[in-house]
Amino acid sequence: MSVRRIACLANSYKHDHRCVAGIDLSTKRWVRLIGNEIAGCMTLAEASYADGNPIELLDVFEVELCEPCGTECQPENVRIAEGHLTFLRKFDLPERRPAR
């Protein structure tokens, strides 16, 4: 298991639950997060921070990842550890962009 920083680039509904994916900022690889309660997706609680706010597009957050659980159609799938996600910042804040 390892704690990773993810930039959220997708957060959609999947069978009344959530499908969350983004870029792992350390490996620069696409990952799709899989929870522990519902096969193939995350519950709303798993896709939220400790304060109850849901993950939003362009959030950069930390999550502890367990083992890869990819399929032939979705090799990017990785299971998350139980516990809370930690919001770090928004990816698109102007002060984070290089000066021109």
Q: Does residue 68 contact residue 78 with C-beta atoms inside 8 Å?
A: yes
| Structure confidence at residue 27 (pLDDT) | 93
| Structure confidence at residue 98 (pLDDT) | 58
Query: Across the chain, what does the average pLDDT equal?
Result: 89
If you classify domain 2-96 with CATH, what class do you get?
mainly beta
Q: Does residue 31 contact residue 10 with C-beta atoms inside 8 Å?
A: no
Residue 34 reports pLDDT greater than 90: yes
